[in-house]
Amino acid sequence: MNSICALIVDDSSVMRKIVERCLRQAGIDLKQVLEAGNGAEALNVLQNNAVDLILCDINMPVMDGLEFVKQLSGVANAKGVPVVMITTEGSESHVVQAISCGARGYIRKPFTAEQVKEHVIPALAGK
């Protein structure tokens, strides 16, 4: 797998670091990791940066993860980029909502590095 650029969107900086560590433990070669604290910040990041993968929380201030994913369709740098949600919201309806908004994967917190790998590798393969 080629070296990739990942965007991690979560209002917790600790969680962003954990997700990055899990990606590295999953054997994903990270060329660059970009971070954003909410959906609006992430849209700004995508104005100036092309990425290969987006990992996104749902419950965030300013703009939540579901609204962010909906708005991605209008962002040139996000075309075809797989989005995997990582969230405490584990209900079936949240999963359905996220997938219908365009997410390719859904990981419930708490999670293991292995679970991140199981969801991210197929999402990247289907890019």
Partner 1 sequence: MKSVSELPAADGSHESWVPLMEVAAREVFELMLGCQLTLPATADETTTLGITSMVGLAGQLCGVLSVRCDAKTATLMTSKMLGVALDTVGPEVSDALGEICNMVAGNFKNKIAGLGDGCMLSPPTVITGRDYGLHSQADCPGLELRLLFEGMPIAITLQIHS
Q: What angle do CA 9, 67, 115 make, to 5 degrees?
A: 45
By CB under 8 A, residue 15 contacts partner 1:
yes
Strand, coil or helix: 2: coil
Residue from the set 9, 11, 46, 84 that interacts with partner 1 by CB under 8 A? 11
Q: Which sign, positive or negative, has the C-alpha torsion 108, 98, 7, 13?
A: negative
Residue 68 identity: F
For residue 60, the one-letter residue type is M
Least separation in angstroms between CB 90 and partner 1: 4
Q: What angle do CA 98, 102, 28 make, to 5 degrees?
A: 95
Q: Which of residues 18-57 bind partner 1 (CB under 8 A)?
A: 18, 21
Q: How far is the CB of 127 from partner 1 (least distance, A)?
A: 27
Among 32, 59, 73, 100, binds partner 1 (CB under 8 A): 59
Of the pair 36, 51, the CB lying nearest partner 1 is at 36
Residue 80 or 110 with smaller CB distance to partner 1 = 110
Placement of tokens 């970009």 in the chain: 34
Question: Which residues contact partner 1 (rule: CB under 8 A)?
Answer: 11-15, 17-18, 21, 59, 61, 87-94, 108-112
